[in-house]
Amino acid sequence: MIKKFGFLLILILVVLSVVLFFRDNNNGKPHNKDYVDHIEPPREEKPSQSDQNNNLSSESLVSRVFLNSKEGRVPGTSFVAGQTEIQEINHEWGNAEKTTTSEKGNYAHYPKYDVTVGYHEQLIFDVRSFHSELQNIHLKDIKKVKGDPDEVRYYKGKTHNQIILVYHVNEEYELKWILPKPSDREPNPRVHHISVFTQISNKDHNQGDNYEVISDMSLSEKIGQMMITGISGTKINQNTKTLINKYKVGGIIFYGDNLETPQQTVHLLNQIKFENKHNRFPLLLSVDEEGGRISRMPGNITDLPTNKEIGAINNPHFSYEIGTLLGKELNEFGFNLDFAPVLDVNSNPNNPIIGDRSFGNNPKIVSKLGIQTMKGIQSQNIVPVIKHFPGHGDTSVDSHLNLPKVNKNLEDLNELEIIPFKNAIDNGAEVVMVAHILLPKIDAAYPSSMSEKIISDILRKQLDFNGVVMTDDMTMKAITNHFDIGQAAIESVKAGSDIILVAHDYNKILSTIDALKTAVQKGEIPEERINASVNRIIQLKKNYNINNEEVEDINIKELNQSIENVLNKEMSSSTTNNQSE
């Protein structure tokens, strides 16, 4: 009996030892393939040696992260960038708690698992881990294990000022370590999160057929495409040549003091096209030609009616004919982009800037006539620009002189000002100009031309606009009285603008270009954000077959005859309608 009891006791002790051995080695967790790459927390065997033990554990964690990144994964998950589809993750973890959209694609957030994944269509391209155990890693730990990164980027937002260490772990994957930017107070910050990224989505998302050419462009060339600039004088000069050849600007805006006579105007535009022939992309040659009092065309060209007069007639076909004439005028001179039609609803009779430039105070009439004018301009292969989003009709200050303020909320705008813009976008508008208006009930910090809430949230998301967004002239006092022009341009691009319009002052143009370039180099603006804008601009130029072909001298007499035929026809029609009534 005693022998049996002794044997049983020995057996129990052996079994207990085996259990304790495997428990210690698995840290009390059952073996599960999903936890194979779980990052074990650093252990503190003796308080007096805690720092030394943490350093050893941190270096081990760094090695584990790099090992996983070579396979397109972050520790603790089995999802592979470039291979796993989003529905696989949702099947395993359930639907994401939140999904956001960026220039790269959609991002699904799984805070329960400390993971965010970026995906385009169905395929994931970015896996990010925010696991708390990563915070045991410091900046010096990463560099001690793997040396200096291949690239250093920076990101600065409203709540973050970060440094990004990028390691090209192989041809397929990048590993990014994101930490607070080192400072005198904290020279060795802890890791905030990591990202394993593959380029698979960049080629597919928002790049279309333009991806290869964009990838071949320098940063300077990309930023140049995002600029429409003014020039001085009636002849091409050295500053204009520098803007074209060195800075490779995307377009030029012309004013009355550039355009002296029809012959001189044609010659100037031809010279500019010739100067640009060796560049990769043709120029947007733009002008404000609305009809009525806003006309830049030189020579004795017959006046077109104001939008207010067209609104009083309220004939959509006549609006289309006027748009066609505007396009024809610009074509004859060699322009290819018109800052028209105006879609502002003139709800404030004391408005100092819109007035008779508007089709009226009824958003339905403004929509109907504005859309037809836009389509008439398009029929002549001229790019129309609808303006001034989200609506300049209720302002009491001229934005050329100071910053107007409109105390309306989004609901108010949706009931009036936004209606014509929404309808025009639904009918094929491809370029929207954003006004310099402060709407404190929507964004108290920035005017609409610099506001993410207005450009990205309202124009892009609410109205589903995927075309080119451009600012009104950034040299207007609505901006320069309150902001540094370079910083204003940075905020505008961050908010979602594709083209920055700097219509006056050569030095302001250069400082704006330099500010944007520096912002990208420092990581304040991601280069992917720049790529998305450049893609839209290139595609617009392709859509209209814009080129450097020179035009011949204009026939003013023939142009006037076309204008008078349309005006006489409408006058005759109006007379007949009045008599029949």
Alpha-carbon distance of 391 to 355, in angstroms, equals 13
Any domain includes 16: no
Q: Whole-prediction pTM value?
A: 0.66
Which of 38, 192, 267, 400 is labelled catalytic? 400
For residue 390, pLDDT over 90 is answered with yes
Nearest Cα to Cα of residue 365 among 325, 416, 323? 416
Nearest Cα to Cα of residue 345 among 438, 421, 407? 421
Mark whether 182 and 281 lie in a shared domain: no
For residue 9, pLDDT over 60 is answered with no
- Domain CATH code at residue 468: 3.20.20.300
Nearest Cα to Cα of residue 189 among 163, 220, 215? 163
Mean pLDDT of the chain: 86
Tens-digit pLDDT profile for residues 353-374? 788 899 999 999 999 999 999 9
Which of 288, 338, 356, 472 is labelled catalytic? 472
For residue 191, pLDDT over 60 is answered with yes
Indicate if 553 belongs to the active site.
no
Lowest pLDDT segment from 17-21, 347-351, 399-403, 571-575 = 17-21
Mark whether 181 and 232 lie in a shared domain: no
Any domain includes 4: no
Angle between helices 363-379 and 316-333 (to 10 degrees): 40
Any domain includes 245: yes
Alpha-carbon distance of 462 to 485, in angstroms, equals 28
DSSP assignment string, 98-138: EEEE-SS-EEEEEGGGTEEEEEETTEEEEEEE--GGGGG-B
Q: Which domain holds residue 319?
A: 220-563
Mark whether 313 and 180 lie in a shared domain: no
Mark whether 368 and 479 lie in a shared domain: yes
Instruction: Give the number of domains in the chain.
Output: 2
Lowest pLDDT segment from 30-34, 95-99, 121-125, 140-144 = 30-34
Tens-digit pLDDT profile for residues 202-236? 434 444 568 778 988 999 999 999 999 999 999 99
Nearest Cα to Cα of residue 420 among 373, 370, 468? 370
Any domain includes 213: no
Mark whether 434 and 546 lie in a shared domain: yes
- Contact present, 213 and 96 (Cβ < 8 Å): no
Nearest Cα to Cα of residue 541 among 421, 382, 389? 382
Report the percentage of the chain scoring pLDDT > 90. Answer: 69
Any domain includes 492: yes
What is the pLDDT at residue 87? 82
Any domain includes 294: yes
- Contact present, 103 and 214 (Cβ < 8 Å): no
Mark whether 400 and 270 lie in a shared domain: yes
Q: Which two tokens stand for residue 285?
A: 């040659």
Mark whether 377 and 273 lie in a shared domain: yes
Question: How is the beta sheet containing 337-338 ordered, strand by strand?
Answer: 383-384, 337-338, 284-287, 251-254, 227-230, 500-502
| Cα–Cα separations (whole angstroms), residue 506 to 239, 260, 411 | 7, 21, 40
Mark whether 194 and 247 lie in a shared domain: no
Lowest pLDDT segment from 169-178, 207-216, 260-269, 321-330 = 207-216
Alpha-carbon distance of 524 to 530, in angstroms, equals 11
Any domain includes 451: yes
Rounded to a whole number of angstroms, the CA Rg of the chain reads 31
Report the percentage of the chain scoring pLDDT > 70. Answer: 84
Mark whether 266 and 355 lie in a shared domain: yes
What is the pLDDT at residue 305? 94
Indicate if 204 belongs to the active site.
no
What is the pLDDT at residue 28? 35
Mark whether 454 and 491 lie in a shared domain: yes
Mark whether 422 and 396 lie in a shared domain: yes
DSSP assignment string, 386-443: EEEET--TT-SS-TTTS--B----HHHHHHTTHHHHHHHHHTT--EEEEP--B-TTT-
Any domain includes 325: yes
358-394 burial, b at 16+ Cβ within 10 Å, e below that, comes to bbbebbebbbbbbbbbbbbbbebebbbbbbbbbbbbb
Nearest Cα to Cα of residue 383 among 275, 287, 302, 502? 287
For residue 532, pLDDT over 80 is answered with yes
Mark whether 123 and 63 lie in a shared domain: yes
Confidence of residue 30 (pLDDT cuts 50, 70, 90): very low
SS3 331: helix
Alpha-carbon distance of 421 to 417, in angstroms, equals 8
Alpha-carbon distance of 191 to 115, in angstroms, equals 15
Tens-digit pLDDT profile for residues 425-478? 999 999 999 999 999 999 999 999 999 999 999 999 999 999 999 999 999 999
